[in-house]
Structure 1
């Protein structure tokens, strides 16, 4: 399973999922070794198809770092943290998440839109 790290050490993903709010944006940055990129993307696409069918899902985009970066970033919009938490807790999603190799590092964080 991929290693989960926090972008903000003072705010765990668990704490974020427990806060009732929405709509939300999940930004999940992945460090993927070059030799694993194609396999990672194949598994991610399977996960994405599953997530797109879940209640509360709004949209999803995957981005790749430039200049031969090893970073990939998923940006997904959900109606609420509750909907995202239910999707994450689904046994089918958990099974797919366990398939990611241990040398993948994931940095998930939940954001709310604010007025600039």
Structure 2
């Protein structure tokens, strides 16, 4: 992938990978040119298949923005940052990043669930 843009400039994905947490949710927002959507979906599908085979992977779901916005959101659940980190830095995955369209910009960020009394559980 030619571009990665942190959701939080002060705490990019590279720093997040050093934090031990279990479980974690990867949220990755992709923006791209409309003409590149078919290629993006092909490459993302290949990446998702690779991740699905990795230890610690739980699930993933890709979402597309409504209307004419070529914006995608990927939501992936992992057992831990340790497991996600191993997959994210794996040479096979890193090599695949170059296959994304040049217009694609990814903004990955790791999260943990938060419990709010009476609303949701952690």
Q: TM-score, normalised by structure 2?
A: 0.91
Q: Return the alpha-carbon distance in structure 2 between the equivalents of residues 2 and 78 of structure 1.
A: 25
- Gaps of at least 5 residues in structure 2 are 117-122
- Gaps of at least 5 residues in structure 1 are none
Q: Which residue of 2 aligns with 1:11?
A: 11
Name which one, 1 or 2, has greater alpha-carbon Rg. Answer: 2
Number of aligned residues: 116
- Alpha-carbon deviation of 1:94? 0.9
Q: Which residue of 2 aligns with 1:45?
A: 45
1:113 corresponds to 2:113: yes
Q: For each residue in 1:15-52, what CA deviation from the matched residue of structure 2 results, as whole angstroms up to 9, or x when unmatched? A: 11100001000000000110000110011101100100
Q: Which residue of 1 aligns with 2:90?
A: 90
Runs of 4+ in 1 over 3 A off after TM superposition: none
**Conservation of the 8 A alpha-carbon contact between 2:2 and 2:100:** yes
